[in-house]
Amino acid sequence: MGEPVEWMDDGSPRSRRFDDRYRSSAGGLAQATTVFLAGCGLPHRWRGHERFTVLETGFGLGLNFLTTWAAWAADAERSGCLHFVSVEAYPVSVPDILRSAQMAAPPSGSDAGLMRRVQALAQELAQVWRDLAPGLHVFHFAQGRVQLTLAVGQAQRMLQSLDCRADAVYLDGFSPARNPDMWSLQTLQGVSLHCRAGTTLATYTVARSVRTRLEGLGFRVEKCAGLAPKRDCLKAVFLPQA
* Confidence check: pLDDT of 94 > 90: yes
CA–CA gap between residue 133 and residue 153 (Å, rounded): 9
Q: How do residues 126-184 score in pLDDT, each as one tens digit?
A: 999 988 999 999 999 999 999 999 999 999 999 999 999 999 999 999 999 999 999 99
- CA neighbor of 20 nearest in space, from 202, 233, 205, 148: 205
Query: Higher model confidence: residue 23 or residue 90?
Result: 90
Q: What is the mean pLDDT of the chain?
A: 94
- Written as one letter, the residue type at 159 is L
Question: What is the enclosing helix (H) or strand (E) of 181?
Answer: none
Q: What is the pTM of this model?
A: 0.96
Task: Report the CATH superfamily, name and number, of domain 6-238.
Answer: Vaccinia Virus protein VP39 (3.40.50.150)
Q: What per-residue string of b and e applies to 139-160 under the rule 16 or more CB within 10 Å gives b? A: eebeeebbbbbbbbbebbebbe
Cis peptide bond prior to 95, omega within 30° of 0: no
Query: Could you give the angle at the alpha carbon of 177 between the alpha carbons of 184 and 186, nearest 5°?
Result: 5
* Ranges of each domain in the chain: 6-238
The DSSP call for residue 38 is G
